[in-house]
């Protein structure tokens, strides 16, 4: 599979088969992703891979916190405090597509809550990955991490696997650190569901649109010859 095909094929998958993912396969994906670039070769990624009983236990604790109405305290602000255009419209359209795919009405609060709660179980994928960074590192390490995560997701596509990068899994960092026995020096950035896609699930049938290159790119003297 070429890179362009992998880029266009990758999508956020929210329903998985119960088929397990072998440890050797996961190690292979991480081995590929570790070649991602990072400033001064700092390689800031720290990864925890959960499956089986430990994954189920953490997922249950996260979901319980959500169901009880406990407000999460993420280690950093992923989204803006106040939304504005054009990002607000894109965000709303994304959510509308998801709920339309599941035929969940706007006023059906219970089904919407149930669907959101699935985030904390990593959508019942067989594998949950959690990504940490030393909080003493600077903002550049976040850029490095993004390239690492994309590399991991593209490697998964090549192997016939599906993923969903999840900010929701970082909403209760203290709970996660407690479950894993980690100290406060590691900042929880996000999580990721990993497994084999359930291609019959309606939630996996839709694709979010992308803006054309002309909408976000400015070329300056591109054709000028020196």
pLDDT at 223: 72
Confidence tier at 188 by pLDDT (50, 70, 90): very high
Could you identify the residue written with the tokens 């790119």?
A: 217
Share of the chain above pLDDT 90, in %: 96
220 burial class (0-12, 13-18, 19+ CB within 10 angstroms)? exposed
pLDDT at 222: 72
pLDDT tens, residue by residue, 136-185: 999 999 999 999 999 999 999 999 999 999 999 999 999 999 999 999 99
Residue 19 has pLDDT above 70, yes or no: yes
Intra-chain end-to-end CA distance of the chain, in Å: 37
Residue 209 has pLDDT above 60, yes or no: yes
Computed over every residue of the chain, the mean pLDDT equals 95
CA distances in angstroms from 218 to 40, 97, 213, 222, 223, listed in the order given = 29, 30, 9, 10, 13
Helices 109-117 and 52-67 pack at an angle, to 10 degrees, of 150
Which residue stretches of 68-182 are H helix?
Answer: 87-101, 109-117, 140-158, 173-180
Residue 224 has pLDDT above 80, yes or no: no
Nearest to 160 by CA among 4, 6, 3: 6
Instruction: Please name each of the domains of the chain with its CATH number.
Output: 3-208 (3.40.109.10)
pLDDT tens, residue by residue, 42-65: 999 999 999 999 999 999 999 999
Residue 36 CB neighbour total at 10 angstroms: 17
The conformational region for residue 165 under phi > 0 = left, psi -120 to 50 = alpha, else beta, is beta
Confidence tier at 226 by pLDDT (50, 70, 90): low
What is the average per-residue pLDDT within 126-143?
97
CA distances in angstroms from 177 to 44, 52, 69, 184, listed in the order given = 18, 18, 20, 8
Confidence tier at 225 by pLDDT (50, 70, 90): low
How do the residues of the chain divide into helix, strand and coil, expressed in percent and rounded to 5? 45, 15, 40
In three-state secondary structure terms, 62 is helix
pLDDT at 106: 87
Could you identify the residue written with the tokens 């599979």?
A: 1
Q: How far apart are CA 28 and CA 173, in angstroms?
A: 27
């Amino acid at each position: 599979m070429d890179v362009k095909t992998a880029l266009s094929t990758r999508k956020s998958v929210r329903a998985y088969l119960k088929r397990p993912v072998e440890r050797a396969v996961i190690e292979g994906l991480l081995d590929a992703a570790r070649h991602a670039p990072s400033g001064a070769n700092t390689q800031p990624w720290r990864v925890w891979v959960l499956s089986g009983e430990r994954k189920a236990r953490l997922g249950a604790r996260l979901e319980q916190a959500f169901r009880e109405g406990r407000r999460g305290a993420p280690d950093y602000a992923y989204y803006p405090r106040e939304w504005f255009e054009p990002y607000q419209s894109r965000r709303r359209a994304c959510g509308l597509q998801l709920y339309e795919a599941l035929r969940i009405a706007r006023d059906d609060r219970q089904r919407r809550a149930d669907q959101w709660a699935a985030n904390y179980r990593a959508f019942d994928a067989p594998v949950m990955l959690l990504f940490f960074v030393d909080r003493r590192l600077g903002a550049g390490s976040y850029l490095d991490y993004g390239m690492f995560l994309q590399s991991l997701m593209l490697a998964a596509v090549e192997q016939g696997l599906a993923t969903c990068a999840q900010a929701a899994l970082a909403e209760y960092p203290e709970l996660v650190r407690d479950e894993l026995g980690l100290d406060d020096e590691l900042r929880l950035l996000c999580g990721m569901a990993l497994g084999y896609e359930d291609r019959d699930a309606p939630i996996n049938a839709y694709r979010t649109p992308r803006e054309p290159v002309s909408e976000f790119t400015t070329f300056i003297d591109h054709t000028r010859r020196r």
